[in-house]
């Protein structure tokens, strides 16, 4: 049985990974929230890896308060950059693979076609810049690191766009949602299932260099936040009207990417993944919510 450390287990992705791995006979998830494991503490990390005899680390820990990061940059950089650096160093010392999760916010470039892993990164807020630094540090300090960039994570549990729209649409007759930010919603159970496939391959042949590097993952297709909200409301019993507006109507402290749709060819071909369209995944979520 493989012992898998899940950092940041209090978040929606960490929680989903813990549930999924816990249902598999081959895995024993060691799921620790930030209150139980501080990834910026090198000694605590090494003690954890030794105590639980960890075979692979899933680092989902992150500072994700995008707007608050603009006024609390030290905290964002500590958790999103220094933390992953310490995790990578610890994993390298123990000679175990690391899967680190990142974000579409690292891109924020002017390209308007599905983004490749090799495309330029030009983050325009503290959150994106700190996450990009985290990617770079993990890859620099540990050759057996796999970085998964994802976007617009949502699911039935936790604080996310899906649950916010469900709540607001039951309370208000009209919702205004931006239609000039384009990306792809990612259903957390689909992200967790893909991660299970990936980590299984990595553990079976940890020395294979093709497993490591940067990979994009989201559900197939593209949508604006307006499209996503419309799909959520139309799949519910609410009669709320969803109206499209521009980003300028809702100024935020942190700039958002205007386009962050991924090219998924690399992760699909490397790990033989079949990825669902975001609309299909959303219907699945609505049917089980």
Strand partners, 177: 244
pLDDT tens per residue across span 73-95: 999 999 999 999 999 999 999 99
Q: For residue 5, give the H/E element and its range.
A: strand 2-7
Largest CA distance in the chain: 56
Above 70 in pLDDT, residue 137? Answer: yes
What per-residue confidence (pLDDT) applies to 288?
Answer: 65
Q: Where are the alpha helices (DSSP H) in 7-72?
A: 12-22, 42-51, 68-71
d(CA 7, CA 94): 17
Above 90 in pLDDT, residue 287? Answer: no
Minimal CA–CA distance to 152: which of 218, 233, 75?
Answer: 218
pLDDT tens per residue across span 46-83: 999 999 999 999 999 999 999 999 999 999 999 999 99
Long-range residue pairs from 112-121, CB within 8 A, at least 24 positions apart, any chain: 112/259, 113/261, 113/263, 114/222, 114/261, 114/262, 114/263, 114/264, 115/216, 115/259, 115/260, 115/261, 115/262, 115/263, 116/216, 116/263, 116/266, 117/149, 117/213, 117/214, 117/215, 117/216, 117/263, 117/266
Q: In 10 A of CB 60, how many CB atoms?
A: 25
Strand partners, 20: none
- How buried is 33 (Cβ within 10 angstroms: 0-12 exposed, 13-18 middle, 19+ buried)? middle
Above 80 in pLDDT, residue 289? Answer: no
Minimal CA–CA distance to 128: which of 81, 161, 82?
Answer: 81
Above 60 in pLDDT, residue 101? Answer: yes
What per-residue confidence (pLDDT) applies to 207?
Answer: 85
pLDDT tens per residue across span 2-14: 999 999 999 999 9
**CATH no. for 2-160+185-220+261-275:** 3.40.50.720
pLDDT tens per residue across span 215-269: 999 999 999 999 999 999 988 878 899 999 999 999 999 999 999 999 999 999 9
d(CA 161, CA 133): 26
Contact 254, 66 (CB under 8 A): yes
Contact 83, 131 (CB under 8 A): no
pTM for the full model? 0.96
Output the six-digit token pair for 117: 């892993």
Q: Are strands 182-183 and 223-224 parallel, antiparallel or unpaired?
A: antiparallel
What average pLDDT does this structure show over 268-286? 97
Q: Catalytic residue numbers?
A: 127
pLDDT tens per residue across span 184-211: 999 999 999 999 999 999 999 988 999 9
Tokens 């990578």 belong to residue: 88
């Amino acid at each position: 049985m493989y012992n898998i450390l899940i950092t940041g287990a209090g978040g929606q992705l960490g929680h989903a990974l813990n549930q999924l791995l816990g249902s598999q006979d081959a895995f024993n998830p060691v799921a620790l929230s930030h209150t139980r494991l501080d990834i910026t503490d090198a000694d605590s990390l090494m003690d954890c890896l030794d105590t639980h005899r960890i075979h692979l680390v899933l680092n989902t820990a992150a500072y994700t308060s995008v707007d608050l990061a603009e006024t609390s940059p030290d905290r964002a950089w500590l958790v999103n950059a220094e933390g992953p650096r310490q995790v990578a160093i610890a994993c390298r010392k123990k000679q175990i693979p690391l899967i680190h999760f990142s974000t579409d916010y690292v891109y924020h470039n002017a390209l308007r076609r599905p983004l490749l892993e090799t495309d330029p990164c030009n983050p325009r807020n503290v959150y994106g810049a700190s996450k990009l630094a985290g990617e770079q540090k993990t890859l620099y300090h540990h050759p057996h690191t796999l970085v998964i960039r994802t976007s617009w994570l949502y699911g039935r549990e936790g604080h996310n766009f899906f649950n916010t729209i469900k709540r607001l649409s039951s309370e208000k007759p009209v919702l205004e949602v931006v239609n000039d930010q384009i990306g792809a919603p990612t259903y957390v159970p689909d992200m967790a299932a893909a991660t299970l496939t990936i980590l299984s391959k990595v553990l079976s042949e940890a020395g294979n260099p093709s497993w490591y590097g940067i990979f994009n993952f989201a559900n197939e297709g593209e949508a604006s936040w307006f499209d996503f909200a419309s799909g959520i409301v139309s799949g519910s019993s609410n009669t709320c009207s969803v109206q499209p507006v521009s980003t300028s109507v809702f100024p935020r402290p942190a700039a958002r990417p205007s386009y962050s749709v991924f090219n998924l060819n690399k992760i699909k071909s490397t790990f033989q993944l079949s990825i669902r369209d975001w609309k299909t995944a959303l219907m699945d979520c609505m049917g089980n919510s």
